[in-house]
Amino acid sequence: MLLPQFIALRYARSGSKRSFVAFINRFSILGIALGIASLIIVLSVMNGLESQLKARILGILPHAVVEAPLSKVNILDTGQADLVKMASYLEQEVVVQSRSHIKGVIMQGVDSAANKAHSTVANSMVAGSYDSLQAKTFNLVLSRTLARQLSVGIGQKVRLISPQTSVYSPFGRIPSQRLFTVTGIFNVVSEMDDKVVLVHWKDASKLLRTPASDEANTTRLFLSDPFSFESVKRNLDDAELDYSLWRERQGALFDAVKMEKNMMTLMLGLVILVAGFNVVSALVMVVAEKRADIAILQTQGMQTKHVTQIFILNGVFNGCVGVLGGLVLGLGGVFMLNPLLDLMNSGLAFGENGQGLPIDIRWQQICLILGVTIGLCALASLYPAKMAASVRPANGLRTS
């Protein structure tokens, strides 16, 4: 260990428990630890909430819909990182009617064989089968919430009515309608559960009275990450295709969640910044307390830059202790958060059957927080270090 590092480590570990300087030093370390722990806990919860919303809402809604048949959209490269699948798709607002209830929903005409590997609904089936959505069977898959609202179950029939499509009869103009058999029930636990029903796109096409074709008029795009749509958007613009993205429907919700997460990060970052100011005050008092030591070191030939290094490293050592303490407290708080909420019977839950707060620990964020904090401590140590370097040996020994 080099001499500046050795002395800095001794200064960081020394100090009487009754010393006011030692108290301020430990108080600054505690402030850093509490700020980091709070930031880790809050960001983990906010990340979990965002991931849960993305999985539940964007798992049902299409990531992107292109107003063109699949054959014309095949110019896009499904091998690129963001775009993973394309499939025929139809969507229309309809009315679903059971024997006792009626409700307006969004009918999604899907290709079950092409969608299954990438569909959240297919992975959330609780009864029946997603594969039952075959052409010309007029089968239908709906959510458990909607099934309860309509009082229907597997094997029962419901009527889909399309107000936008009309047929003429001796009794006048009436909406197009067909009977569908419920063959599947899913449970994504999303606010979109009771707003969507799924049928095969060819059956949807017959309900909507569109011309018979081997492919639908629109195409659904599946992205590896719905938030990473910029490259796909550029390709669609270059191809001069009309399209709509999920942001047109749910962009405001996710923007609100992102803004809230950013504001919480800013607020807790200010707590760490205040703790960094405490590092400055603690080191200033350490410099005042060690003036004689600084003078002796200078008379023995220590260069000014090495004196500066001693107090910068002192601040960095204090920051590392606070960072490690905050990391342990933060991770411990994250893993114990839901058990503590259950013990307190707080009632905070974001899931079915009373599931607790969603947790998503992102190590990239944690590493960034720790690195920025240590950098802040090093930056806060510059002024006390310059004060120490400006001490003159004669003056330091005289005042001691």
Q: What is the pLDDT of residues 53-67, one digit of tens each?
A: 888 888 888 888 888
Determine the 3-state secondary structure of 294 from DSSP: helix
Q: Please report which confidence band the pLDDT of residue 224 belongs to, taking 50, 70 and 90 as the band edges.
A: confident
- 2 φ, ψ to 5°? -70, 155
Which among 178, 185, 139 has a CA at the least distance from the CA of 160? 178
Q: How many CB atoms lie within 10 A of CB 157?
A: 13
pLDDT for 281 beyond 70: yes
Q: How far is CA 289 from CA 55, 168, 295, 388, in A?
A: 57, 96, 12, 11
Are 123 and 190 a contacting pair, CB within 8 Å?
no
- pLDDT for residue 360: 87
Q: What is the pTM of this model?
A: 0.76
- pLDDT given for residue 293 in this prediction: 72
Task: Pick the range with the lowest mean pLDDT from 95-99, 147-151, 171-175, 311-315.
Answer: 171-175
More confident residue, 392 or 319: 319
* 348 — pLDDT class (breaks 50, 70, 90): low
Bridge partners for 94 per DSSP: 105
Q: Is 218 exposed, middle or buried (0-12, 13-18, 19+ CB in 10 A)?
A: buried
More confident position, 85 or 390: 85
166: which residues sit within 8 A by CB, 6+ positions away?
173, 174, 175, 176
Average pLDDT in the 344-361 region?
Answer: 67
Residue-wise pLDDT for 22-62, tens only, equals: 777 778 888 888 889 989 998 898 888 888 888 888 888 88
Distance CA 323, CA 49 (A): 25
Amino acid identity for residue 118 in this structure: H
Evaluate whether 218 touches 205 at the Cβ level (below 8 Å). Answer: no
Q: Is the pLDDT of residue 171 over 70?
A: no
- pLDDT tens profile 105-117: 999 999 888 888 8
Q: Looking at the predicted structure, is the pLDDT value of residue 351 above 70? A: no
C-alpha–C-alpha distance, residues 312 and 333, integer Å: 31
Dihedral of CA 71/205/158/192: which sign? positive
The pLDDT, as a whole number, for residue 242 is 87
Greater confidence, 118 or 24?
A: 118
